[in-house]
Structure 1
Amino acid sequence: MIPITIFDDQTVAVFGLGGSGLATLEALAAGGARVVAYDDNEASRTKAALIEGVEIVDLREADWSSFAALVLAPGVPLTHPEPHWSVKLAQQAGVEIIGDVELFCRQRRHSGIDCPFVAITGTNGKSTTTALISHMLRDSGMDVQMGGNIGTPVLALEPLASDRIYVIEVSSYQIDLAPSIDPSIGLLLNISADHLDRHGDLMSYAKIKARMVSSSGLAVVALDDRLSANVASNLRLKGRTIVTISGFGNSRAMVAAPDGVLQSMEGDFLFNLDQARALRGTHNAQNAAAAIAVVRQFDLPPAALSRGLISFGGLEHRMEEVGAADGVLYINDSKATNADAAARALASFRSVHWIAGGLPKEGGIETLVDLLDRVEHAYLIGDAADEFARTLKKNGVSYSICAHMDLALAAAIDACKAAGAGAKERVVLLSPACASFDQFPNFTVRGDKFREAVHAYLESGTVPIDPSHSSDEGL
């Protein structure tokens, strides 16, 4: 835990008591703050009440004039679709609203401990890149603390130390609540339409991402989309220190060409990504180029770079290989919660049995039409099934509406069996291009269920079907 001493002997309100909220309570209390906390969920309040030094107070009835700050969980609406009631009360009282990443940044400055702080953001690929950077640095013997949006709350990491490197994934929600974020190295991977319900429009979303790298000691920016390239151009015009990278060979610093060869434009590093099985696909070429650009700042030799890329095992739910048999590869890409993320998976394979659908996002899968020739058959689930079916039909792609994921997996396996073994490897790909909340608590549960079902099939020859799902539903 990182004790937060900057609010010593002051009263701080915390709203939102999930994982990051609980870590925030512990860090503030350990640092000497008086902490009052609340959540709309009773179970969350009960758990928080067990933390020493924390008082559960209904903030709707609290005296806001006594609060030094409101620390808001990132999932709680700050501006759109409308501010949460706690935000409105804080604004009315003139109380600043911040998040846990802001607490980390302020404590780091206050402590005077100049520990390296690497912050990674982007619409897609940030978790893989965060994990890859952390792995490569650890593999070279460095003390690395990885956290933030990737899983472990930033304040639950080990205490600040000058020889520790903090590699933190930050979402747009977290940046929005971190007005003074100032990483040693800030990495922007890409910007595409996402979370517009939380930020209002694409330009507002892009400005939040840009602000993080604009305040970095060194900015590393990918040039593979227009908005990110504009961010890089603006930083150069301001005379900022910047390294640009690309997954498609158009960078002045680090490129990963279409043939999968990762190279420095200085000519002192060359690596073929075919050797790194967990980094297949052009999207991972960008992730690898970004990671190399960051870890090179720590003076790792080329041999260490190559070793780190090869030994990286990938992440759960991000192009995760969960099994293979009889010429069929099973890929769990449940983290693909929008069309842009699903495009990266589809572009990585040639003969795809695609399980897609869930809670749809704006634009559906219209942006994927150029990749649909890779899809042998689509198996559609969740609320998006009918909408996706219309797009597929219009583009001549065969599909089945299966309603639920277990039924979709069973249908995909049957289709692969019927096609028989061939020269090309078939892929059963869960890459939903949708949020999960219509049928699952989150994308992690969705991916876990897929993995479990695949493993059950590979062990028993049968896909377990939930009894509540009619065996002929949608088939």
Structure 2
Amino acid sequence: MFPAKTFAGRKVGVFGLARSGTACAEALRLGGAEVFAWDDQAQSVEKAKADGLPVGDLKALDFKTLDTLVLSPGVPLTHPKPHWTVEKAKAAGIEIIGDTEVFQRELKGSGAKLVAITGTNGKSTTTALTGHLFQSAGRDADVGGNIGKAVFLLRQPVKDRIYVLELSSFQIDLMPSLKPDAGILTNITPDHLDRHGTIENYVDVKARMFARQGAGDTAIVGVDENWGEDIVKSMKTGARVVPVSVERMLAEGLSAPDGILTERQGGRDIATLDLRKLPALKGRHNWQNAAMAYGAGRALGLTLDEIRQGLMSFGGLAHRMQEIGRLDGVAFINDSKATNADAAAKALASFDDIYWIAGGIAKAGGITPLASFFPKIRRAYLIGEAADEFARTIGDQAPFVKTGTLDRAVAAAAQDAAKDGNRNAVVLLSPACASFDHYPNFEVRGDAFGKAVAALPGIRMTVKGNGHADKPQ
């Protein structure tokens, strides 16, 4: 926790008292602001009072007496309808910002650097990986934002400290001063349209990552969707633009269509790096994540060797295609985060000889979209409520067994993989389902998978704990 001194002497309303809101309210108070913190949930207000935060009923307050409203990113700003605090703030003519905007203002003049990452998919892995690259190279780096720590729970800005922040579209919408030294947009697919109204509004918010950049800054943009390409074409900020593709070779920027990352500048190859050998970054979508992190590392001065070593030592994010153990060469992969068919497809596309654990509470469409991957499955182990439905979908396209529970699935898959003697095989938990039939969330399901794997005789666990990789702090 550190003080937000840029708001000293100002009156600030803070709405939303979850982790980021309470941290920001305390930082503002420490920095000399008069703070009125509030929430629609009475229990959140009472907890804030008990924790000594400066609580003030915003419903009863004249917003014209405030200078600023700091709004939680989880609260509607525009769609489907502006929150009542937004309406009051607009009527009073005061600014509406988020905690990350307060943080951005604290960075000004500190000499600290900002790497900001957004996108529809891959931003959490890219953020953790980028932070790991800097930390493993001995740089002074903190990681937070939409992943892990709220920004005001990070260390105070000082010269040469590097902040690697994941930013959601909701956070960017409340961050008018956003100006990263290296900004990353991984990709764009339609998402959060209930909060942004249209895909055009959503794309516009994502593009604000680069709106205030200038000479000396770097914009790293995925161009495998038309929206990314259009953003690159429209840039006129003076920042150095680095397009990224894992679908085709680019004349300029970063390309990895075959897993060999190629950096091109001025029409010539600057460096190459084989991404296919990275232990925790399997599959084309992870090649994109690695290319983005590579671009940020190069932008802020990491050497090719430092980046290569950091990519090799990255343990992955827990529950996201994370190798957690090996038994006689067979890898055990925790992809519990794959709660739908689209997410599971990325994992199934990344391996060949697969002992697949799937099931839970099925989403609309089930696993029908995954039929093209069934020939790669040596056997499927079906668990939870979806077991019967998934068995009907698979039919005679791949061997399967209904094991019912996750622990029995792990034991059966390990036994079958050992019997088949294929040392290049994987036992893959990529459920394509919600977890709620047996587990409160995908994290608990992933932990259960880790415990079941750890119990196998002769297993060599490759991450600490029950499937959790070390995360940058």
Q: Which residue of 1 aligns with 2:465?
A: none
Q: Which residue of 1 aligns with 2:471?
A: none
Partner Cα distance (1:42, 1:263) in 2: 54
Partner Cα distance (2:314, 2:164) in 1: 16
Aligned pairs for 1:54-133 within 5 A: 54-109=53-108, 112-133=109-130
Partner Cα distance (1:327, 1:230) in 2: 45
Q: Which residue of 2 aligns with 1:263?
A: 262
Partner Cα distance (1:390, 1:320) in 2: 26
Contact kept in structure 1, 2:359 and 2:390, CA below 8 Å = no
Shift of residue 25, structure 1, vs aligned partner: 1.6
Contact kept in structure 2, 1:146 and 1:152, CA below 8 Å = yes
Contact kept in structure 1, 2:381 and 2:413, CA below 8 Å = no
Partner Cα distance (1:207, 1:270) in 2: 33
Distance 1:356-1:107 versus aligned 2 partners, 3 A rule: farther
Distance 1:331-1:386 versus aligned 2 partners, 3 A rule: closer
Partner Cα distance (1:389, 1:95) in 2: 54
Partner Cα distance (2:222, 2:348) in 1: 21
Contact kept in structure 1, 2:120 and 2:189, CA below 8 Å = yes
Are positions 1:353 and 2:356 aligned together? yes
Give the TM-score taking structure 1 as reference length.
0.82
Partner Cα distance (2:81, 2:369) in 1: 29
Partner Cα distance (1:39, 1:401) in 2: 46
Aligned pairs for 1:355-370 within 5 A: 355-356=358-359, 358=361, 360=363, 368-370=370-372
Residues 32-88 of structure 1 deviation map (CA, whole Å, 9 limit, x = unaligned) = 111222234444334322444x33234333333322222222223333344344434
Distance 1:452-1:83 versus aligned 2 partners, 3 A rule: farther
Partner Cα distance (1:395, 1:33) in 2: 67
Distance 1:337-1:73 versus aligned 2 partners, 3 A rule: farther
Partner Cα distance (1:100, 1:107) in 2: 11
Distance 1:86-1:387 versus aligned 2 partners, 3 A rule: farther
Partner Cα distance (2:423, 2:458) in 1: 24
Q: Which residue of 2 aligns with 1:220?
A: 220
Contact kept in structure 2, 1:98 and 1:177, CA below 8 Å = yes
Q: Which residue of 1 aligns with 2:179?
A: 182
Distance 1:309-1:208 versus aligned 2 partners, 3 A rule: same
Which range moves more in the overlay, 131-140 or 267-276? Answer: 267-276
Partner Cα distance (1:442, 1:79) in 2: 29
Residues 393-443 of structure 1 deviation map (CA, whole Å, 9 limit, x = unaligned) = 6995677888xxx82452464366457324264434333456667876554
Distance 1:228-1:27 versus aligned 2 partners, 3 A rule: same
**One-letter amino acid matched to 1:430:** L
Which range moves more in the overlay, 199-208 or 306-315? Answer: 199-208
- Structure 2 unaligned regions, length at least 5: 460-473
Q: Which residue of 2 aligns with 1:153?
A: 150
Partner Cα distance (1:239, 1:164) in 2: 24
Q: Which residue of 2 aligns with 1:208?
A: 205
- Structure 1 unaligned regions, length at least 5: 461-475
Contact kept in structure 2, 1:144 and 1:167, CA below 8 Å = yes
Q: Which residue of 1 aligns with 2:468?
A: none
Partner Cα distance (1:394, 1:255) in 2: 39
Give the TM-score taking structure 2 as reference length.
0.82
Distance 1:174-1:338 versus aligned 2 partners, 3 A rule: farther
Residues 93-141 of structure 1 deviation map (CA, whole Å, 9 limit, x = unaligned) = 44432211111112223xx224211101112221222122222222222
In angstroms, what is the RMSD of aligned CA positions?
3.4
